[in-house]
Chains A and B, each alone.
Chain A
Amino acid sequence: MSEHTTLSDLEAAQDNTTAADVQQESVQNFPEPADVGATETMSMQQALNRALAEVMTENPRALILGEDVGQLGGVFRITDGLQKKFGEARVFDTPLAESGILGMSVGLAMAGYHPIPEVQFDGFAYPAVNQIICQVGRMNYRSRGTLPMPITLRVPSFGGIRAPEHHGESLEAMFAHVPGLKVVSPSGPNEAYHLLKYAATRQDPVIFMEPKSRYWQKGPVNTGADAAGYNPNGSRVVREGKHLTLVAWGAMVARCLQVAELAAEDGIEIEVLDLRWLKPIDAEGLAASVAKTRRAVVVHEAPRTSGLGAEVASIITERCFGTLKAPVERVTGFDVPYPSGDLEDEYIPNIDRILYGIQRVLEYRRG
């Protein structure tokens, strides 16, 4: 690879990036993670459903509650069949009120249960924010550790499905800013299965952000006995490279892998880091990757200002300033309300915008 990728190189790469490619991204299987042994192929929706069933089987105090999670199985069918399997006491529909769902979950946790509430869409979490911030995030603290909040809040998240308003929000920075919460987002079926099983067995509240545009993509999931070797903590390098690190989470991981494929055609070897945990952010993992590549671009769907990209850039700068070849670049959604479906492809970072971000970093010159 030449030290400097030229604009024409990138334009050539972009010429290959058509709407058909974007379409292709949504049907390609998620790359097989390195630590997967015996696997089954399933969609993220199936993987999440399987994880919930196993959590419910292993922990009789685990409960699933939310809007339409019972007989219907949730609007995304993540809880499909679980009420039938575990009964109406353990998988139950609540009235349509998100603050009620979260406030009730706090009380259930105080009574020794492990509630797994679902908020039907990301934007519906807003009415519950008071309970999430003031109660879910603080009860363990307020009670000096005597009333833990083992609440796993599942939130179908992010955009990309041409949905109505408030059905495509990216709330990770808001949640990550709240003391007492942990935030995680899986990028594919295997991650979804393992991270949900892990999150739903913690004693702390975890906001589990499911990339709804990836629900139906299939991939190998290691559900076998060797699944115990899965490391649910920290970030994960999903593609190794040496010239630049792309940092992403949720649905953007698959897109970054596609970008890496395109860049590879020009001899640019991109490392893709699936951050997975958005709180706590894996500073060590970030630093290890960028120490090697010396360049980083962070990609997220959420608006740019005060987005998690800023936190990622700050962590990288603190740890890798001396060896960085360029400032950390952010490729993000814009500081606008999430647009209608017709415009969401303009809003969500696409392959071209990510490639431009990479180009800016590669072409950066000091002074």
Chain B
Amino acid sequence: MADVLALDGTGRAELAGEELRELYRLMVAVRYLDESAIRWQRQGLIPGYAPQLGQEAAQVGSGYALDMSRDFVFPTYREMGVARAVGVDMVEYMSTHKATWHGGLYDPKASRFAPIQAVVGGSVLHAVGWAHGQTLDGTPAGELGVAITYFGDGASSQGDVHEAMNFAAVMKAPVVFFIQNNGWAISVPTERQVAGGSVAARAAGYGMPSIQVDGNDVVAVAQATAAALAHARAGKGPAVVEAMTYRRGPHSTSDDPGRYRTLEEERADGGEDPLARMRARLLADGIADEAFFEEALAAAKAEEEQIRAGINALGPRPGTEMFDFVYQEPTQALKAQASAWREESEHV
């Protein structure tokens, strides 16, 4: 797909054998965990889940390109693949889907991965603020930490996304706006969501570079993201990456895509499965063999088993936590409510 306004950063060089194998391992781990999470929901282990089936290349490729010693991720609620790629504790991440804690149990500061965000487009501005903070810190150009913010074609309709892009461009903040254009915002297709057909095209209006990339090609995504990161890290301001992909599953485990699209349409529009595509490439290039794929799948299964056990073992958080984290300095009124709750709940 064509660059709307080519990035001049070169970013990461060509990816070699082990890096390509690692990308595949990550994608398999994410695919297996994602499909398992839907089963967990059907089995009653978790109340709900927002699958990312089909977006493995977009998520793993972009996450893989990050430098987690200095970059910071601002996710929405469908970034399990990014979380896995950047090393977030996956039991603590998936705990949000068990309704244990809204933002997830992981430490967002230590993980450099902001709490899971349910407001569509809500965290895009946070990325701009955090990124501007890196500039204010006096970090020299070339070494800047970059904020990468994930959102979708639906979120691109939100005013906050416009404000964020404008603020970032005005302030030359080191932000990468990473759009997963997966074709659907629940039941509304991109053509009724994104005027002009491309979020990346809008970047030109803000005077920032953008790349529209094949979001089902993990290598292309990793390279495009790396170029965007290099641009931002060099102090040249924000950049946009729009990964064109397809939401192969439902919006969530409560959704029924049969009401707005047919299986035939899904097959026709979904394009090539990103995993099958990477597998074919590794085989064709002689980088991996069948034994490697079996090994990768086995590792993914073992990992899922561990995560499922962890999720299974998670009990509800103590009720006191409802009160504990509202403030750094709790008010007397809140303390009184906590005491009353404790007293009254003990008699139940």
A–B Cβ pairs within 8 angstroms, 15 of them:
A95-B166, A99-B125, A99-B163, A104-B129, A107-B127, A107-B129, A107-B132, A107-B147, A108-B129, A110-B129, A111-B133, A140-B325, A140-B327, A145-B324, A279-B331
- Cα–Cα, bound, A152→B166 (Å): 24
Are A135 and B122 interface neighbours, CB within 8 A? yes
With a cutoff of 8 Å between Cβ atoms, the chain B residues found around residue A111 in the complex are 129-130, 133-134, 137
Known interface pairs A103-B163, A107-B125, A283-B333; A113-B133 also in contact (CB < 8 Å): yes
Interface flag for B170 (CB, 8 Å): yes
Known interface pairs A104-B129, A280-B332; A146-B108 also in contact (CB < 8 Å): yes
Are A107 and B325 interface neighbours, CB within 8 A? no
Chain A's interface size range is 35 or more
Which residue on B lies nearest to A110, using beta carbons?
Answer: B130
Interface flag for A361 (CB, 8 Å): no
With a cutoff of 8 Å between Cβ atoms, the chain B residues found around residue A131 in the complex are 122, 125, 160
Q: Contact mask A209-229 → B, CB, 8 Å, 1/0?
A: 000000000000000000000
- Cα–Cα, bound, A112→B108 (Å): 13
User: CB within 8 Å of A: which of B70-127?
Assistant: 72, 101-103, 105, 107-110, 114-115, 119, 122-127
Interface flag for A202 (CB, 8 Å): yes
Instruction: Name the contact of A63 in the complex, choosing from B122, B136, B164 (C-beta under 8 A).
Output: B136
Instruction: Name the contact of A144 in the complex, choosing from B103, B136, B329 (C-beta under 8 A).
Output: B103
Known interface pairs A143-B108, A147-B115, A281-B333; A103-B103 also in contact (CB < 8 Å): no
With a cutoff of 8 Å between Cβ atoms, the chain B residues found around residue A115 in the complex are 129
Chain A contacts to B: CB under 8 angstroms: 63, 89-90, 94-95, 97, 99-100, 102-113, 115, 130-131, 134-135, 139-148, 179-180, 182, 202-204, 279-281, 283-284
Known interface pairs A95-B163, A107-B128; A143-B115 also in contact (CB < 8 Å): yes
| Besides A106-B129, A145-B325, 8 other A-B contacts (C-beta < 8 A) | A94-B167, A103-B160, A104-B128, A107-B133, A108-B130, A111-B133, A135-B123, A146-B110
With a cutoff of 8 Å between Cβ atoms, the chain B residues found around residue A143 in the complex are 103, 108-109, 115, 325
- Cα–Cα, bound, A89→B103 (Å): 31
Are A134 and B119 interface neighbours, CB within 8 A? yes
Which residue on B lies nearest to A131, using beta carbons?
Answer: B125
Interface flag for B268 (CB, 8 Å): no
Are A180 and B327 interface neighbours, CB within 8 A? yes
A231 CB to closest chain B CB, in angstroms?
Answer: 15
Instruction: Name the contact of B126 in the complex, choosing from A63, A103, A179, A180 (C-beta under 8 A).
Output: A103
Which residue on A lies nearest to B115, using beta carbons?
Answer: A142
B293 CB to closest chain A CB, in angstroms?
Answer: 38
Which residue on B lies nearest to A149, using beta carbons?
Answer: B328
- Cα–Cα, bound, A143→B75 (Å): 13
Which residue on A lies nearest to B335, using beta carbons?
Answer: A280
B115 CB to closest chain A CB, in angstroms?
Answer: 4
Are B136 and A103 interface neighbours, CB within 8 A? no
Are A202 and B325 interface neighbours, CB within 8 A? no
With a cutoff of 8 Å between Cβ atoms, the chain A residues found around residue B170 in the complex are 95
B14 CB to closest chain A CB, in angstroms?
Answer: 33
Instruction: Name the contact of A106 in the complex, choosing from B125, B131, B321 (C-beta under 8 A).
Output: B125
Known interface pairs A142-B103, A144-B105; A97-B166 also in contact (CB < 8 Å): yes
User: CB within 8 Å of A: which of B302-335?
Assistant: 321, 324-329, 331-334
